[in-house]
Each structure stands twice: as C-alpha cells, then as structure tokens.
Amino acid sequence: MTTLLTGVRPPRGFTGNAWTRFAARRLARLLISVWVLVTAAFLMIHLIPGDPVRVALGPTASPELVEARRAALGLDQPLWLQYVHYLGGLFSGDTGTSVGTGLPVSEVIADRLPATLELAGYAFLIAVVVSVPVGVGMAVLTRRGRRRKTELAFTSTSVVLGAVPEFLLAVGLVYVFGVQLGWVPVAGRSGLGSYVLPVLALAVGPAAVLARLLRVETLSVLEADYIRTARAKRLPDRIVYFRHALPNALTATITVGGLLLSAMVAGTVLVENVFAWPGLGTTIVESIIAKDYPLVQGIVLVYGTAVLLVNLAVDVALALLDPRSTIKES
C-alpha cells in the first residue's frame, strides 16, 4: 500500500466505512429515543396526581365502577408488570382500547392519521417550495446593503408572518376567505377546496421563518472563503451560486427545517381544531378533555414517532449534503 511506503497515514476520520458507522450510531440513537418515548407515554398516566380512573370518572362514580375500570385498564397490577404488558402489547400491535368509543386505539389512529399526514405533508412541501427561492433570491438581491427598501420590506413581512401562530392565521383566513369572500369551504375535509385554507394556515409561518433564515445563511455563505476561491477561479455566477453557495446554505438550514417540520406536526393539532378537520389533532383534544387515556397514549406515541422520524430524515439529509456531518460526533 502506498500509504505504508510513504509513511502517510490517512487523516483522522477517513475510513471507508464512515457511512456504516454513521448508520449504526444513528440507529442506536433512534432506538433509545423510541424507548424513552414509549416509556414516557406509559408513565404519563402514572404521573397524574391521584387516581387517574377516579379523575376520569368523576367524584360521583361508585367504588365498584372505579375498581372495575381499574381492572380493565390493568391498573391494579404492579407497575413493572403493567410496563411489561404495555411493551408486549406494543410489539404485537395492540395499543389498547379507547374508553370513549370502545374501539381499538390502533383502529382510531389508522382512521384519522392519513388526514393529518396529508395536511402536514402538503404544508411542508409548499413552505419549502416557496421559501428556498425567495430566501436565496433575497440574499443575492440584498447583499452588501443593496436595495435597503426591499430588504426592509422582506424582513418585516417575514418577521410578522413568522410570529403569527397558525391557529390565529387560520381564524383570519376563515374570516377573509370563508366568511367575507365565501370562496372556499371552512370546515371538514371534502374535496380539494377544503385543503386550501388549512394548508395555507400551516405553511405560511414556517415559510416565512425558513425564507428569512435562508437569506441569512446564504449571506454568510456568500462571504465564506471558499466563495472567494470560486470567484478567484473565475467561475460564472451561476456556478458560484448553485454549486458552491446553495448546498452550503441548505446544510445550515436543514436542521432548522427539521425543527419547523416537527413544529408543523404539532401545529396540525390547532389548525385541525379550527377547521374541524377529521385528523389526529381533533381526536387528541377530544380524548384529553374526555380523559380517554389509552387513546391519548396512542396518539402521543404517533406524534412522537413522527418527530423522531423527522429528526432521522434531517440527519440523513445532512449526511448526504455535508460529508463532514457523518463523522462529526465521534
């Protein structure tokens, strides 16, 4: 081997299986996170001060009824045994039974999940498609203090839009487009028109935040030494921006993009409630108020898993875009 002959060692961090090690490490982290999540969902009920069954059934319920419900939920067993049963149930796909409807939790979730996924998916897609060109374009246009007015208009608009929470935006949209203009339906999930307002309500805030962030990141990337190198190579602007600036600006943005996507998953809860959208968000609120704990547990697990998957996707995307990130943590 040449390296031995010349006495040169490969620099630290370089090994052919960097990817394998990255994948293994990432998988281990995911498993630990899932375990923490499952345990947290399990403990949720036990953390409730007092007797959750008594709390759920109210002070007027007879002791017999309380006991019966406790037994049905398995709450009369020792904690570790309940934990074992809970884990065992999860492995076999059994997430318990909804107290309110008597339906299996997994069935309720399977029924409601697609509506929520659609909402979050479309909203994220629109946020990205809008924010990337706007953010990068703004950076190029307003670089080095050019076009101060455009910059001010962009910054203030994006600050305001980014600060308005999705449920308020949703109410505003309902008022303008539903009540005043009457263009689109404002409740339920039926036909393409009913998607417009909920998706908009979810997408606008993150799009504004992402666009602003991308502008800042692109600006700082454009000042980087390697951009100066690219210019010193006399490459055309097009190549400087797309090959050298954009991937680096995206790298820095992906982490926040992931956080925004997670937040969007959570935002669906509120938006669904404004639009009476038949998704998980309306269901979890109903079940919290009705103290339907098995159903709450199940939905918390779904949301949590979604967030963990988003994080995983972020790490993989980072690894693909930025070769340094696969070795960063070792």
Partner 1 sequence: MTSPAKSTWAGVLRTPVGAGAAGLLAAVLLLAVLAPLLWSDQASAVDTGRILEGPSGEHWMGTDGLGRDIFFRVLVATGLSVGLALLATAVGVGAGLLLGTAPMLLGRRAGRLVTAVVNIAVAFPGLLLALFFAVVFGVGATGAVLAIGFALAPAFARLAQTLVAKVAGLDYVAAARIAGLGRLRLLVRHVLPNIAEPLVVNATIAAGAALLTFSGLSFLGLGVQAPLYDWGRLLGDGLSSLYVHPAAALAPGTAVVVAGLAFNLFGEAIAKGIGMRTTPVLLRPRVRSAPAARPAVTGEQEPVLAVDDLRVAFPGSTPVRGVSFALRRGEAVGIVGESGSGKTLTALALAQLIEEPGEVSADRLDFLGRPLLDLPARERRHLLGTSFAMVFQDPMTSFNPTQRIGRQLAEVSEQHDGLTRGQALDRAVDRLQAVRVPAAARRAKQFPHEFSGGMRQRAMIGMGMMGAPALIVADEPTTALDVTVQRQVLRLLDSVRTADDVALLLISHDITVVRQFCERVLVMYAGRIVEDLPAADLPARARHPYTRALLAAVPDMSTDRERPLAVIPGRPVDPADVPRGCAFAARCPLADEQCTSADPPLVPDEDGRRVACWHADAVTGLPLVAEEVRVGE
Partner 2 sequence: MSELTFEGVSVRFGGRRHGLTAVDGVDLTVPGGSVVGLVGESGSGKSTLARAAVGLAPLHAGRILLDGEPVRRGRRSRPALQMVFQDPYSSLDPRMTIGDSIAEATPRRGPARRAEVTRLLDLVGLGADRARAYPGQLSGGQCQRVALARALAGDPRVLIADEITSALDVSIQGAVLNLVREVQRELRLSLLFISHDLAVVRYVSDFIAVMYLGRIVEYGPAEAVLTDPSHPYTRELLAAVSEPVSTGEADPALRAVADVEPADPHAPPPGCRFHPRCPVGPAVLDGRDLCRESEPVPQGHRHLAACHFAAGR
Cα(152)–Cα(214) distance, integer angstroms: 16
Q: Is 310 left (phi over 0), alpha (psi -120 to 50) or beta?
A: alpha
> Residues 39, 150, 220, 330: which binds partner 2 (CB under 8 A)?
330
Task: Give the per-residue contact string, 108-127, with partner 1 (x = CB under 8 A; - = no).
Answer: --------------------
73 binds partner 1 per the rule CB under 8 A: no
Do residues 100 and 295 make contact, with C-beta atoms less than 8 angstroms apart? yes
Residue 128's closest CA among 210, 23, 225? 210
Q: Residue 267's binding partner, choosing from partner 2, partner 1, none, with beta-carbon cut-off 5 to 8 A by kind?
A: partner 1
Pick the binder of partner 2 from 1, 2, 8, 59 (CB under 8 A).
8
Site string for partner 1, 274-293 (x = CB under 8 A): x---------xx--xx---x
Candidates 268, 214, 270; CA nearest to 246 is: 214
Q: Is 1 in the site for partner 2 (CB under 8 A)?
A: no
Helix 293-321 with 18-47: angle, nearest 10 deg = 160
Write out the two tokens for 37.
């999540």
- Name the one range near partner 1 by CB under 8 A: 31-39, 67-75, 88-96, 114-122: 31-39
312 binds, among partner 2, partner 1, none (CB under 5 to 8 A by kind): none
CA distance 186 to 175: 9
CB of 149 or CB of 234, closer to partner 1: 234
How many residues sit close enough to partner 2 to count as binding (CB under 8 A)? 7
| Of the candidate residues 23, 300, 313, 316, the single one contacting partner 1 (CB under 8 A) | 300
Query: At closest approach, how far in Å is the CB of 245 from partner 1?
Result: 9
Residue 15 binding partner 2, by CB under 8 A: no
SS3 category, 104: strand
- How many chain residues interact with partner 1 (CB under 8 A)? 80
Amino acid in position 244: H
Rounded-to-integer distance, Cα 156 and Cα 152, Å: 6
